[in-house]
Amino acid sequence: MHQHTLQAAREFGFPVENIVFETVEGEQIADGKWLAEVFREYQRIGFLTAIDDFGAGYAGLNLLADFQPDIIKLDMALVRDVQQRRPSQVIIRSVADICRELDIRLIAEGVETEDEYRCLQDLGISLMQGYLLARPLFEHCMQHVPPHLPA
């Protein structure tokens, strides 16, 4: 798979370092060691790697022990009403500390309210995405595709 992606990036002059391969933490992964090796190869080539929905599954810390991605995206269930949920605050602060120690960028997903935003900032989270900040860009772009291009 990565060979086709690499070939397409080179053909169109797209920077490889702007391509992110993601795995979802909650996915059933039969062989975590194999996945870690695949992702290490992606990093060696220059691709970015990410674990999405971190905190949604039960293997997150084990996966993180085997492989350190470039990016971790906190699951929105941890973010939801975080300002009112002390256990979520403790978990997020701890994951943020782990990510700093391992040089991993941490993104909070699903930020929908200013209270969540402010609380996450107080917990040391600087990268966030969610409806409070912007609607999904891809859907917006597809509404503005010129008529001569397929949507």
Query: Does residue 109 carry a catalytic annotation?
Result: yes
Where would I find the H helices in the chain? 2-12, 32-45, 60-66, 76-79, 86-102, 114-122, 137-142
- Write down the catalytic residue from 41, 109, 112, 139: 109
Distance CA 109, CA 78 (A): 9
Give whole-number Cα distances, 52 to 41, 88, 110, 130, 151, in Å: 19, 17, 12, 14, 27
Angstrom distance (rounded) from CA 61 to CA 85: 21
So which residues are the catalytic ones?
A: 109
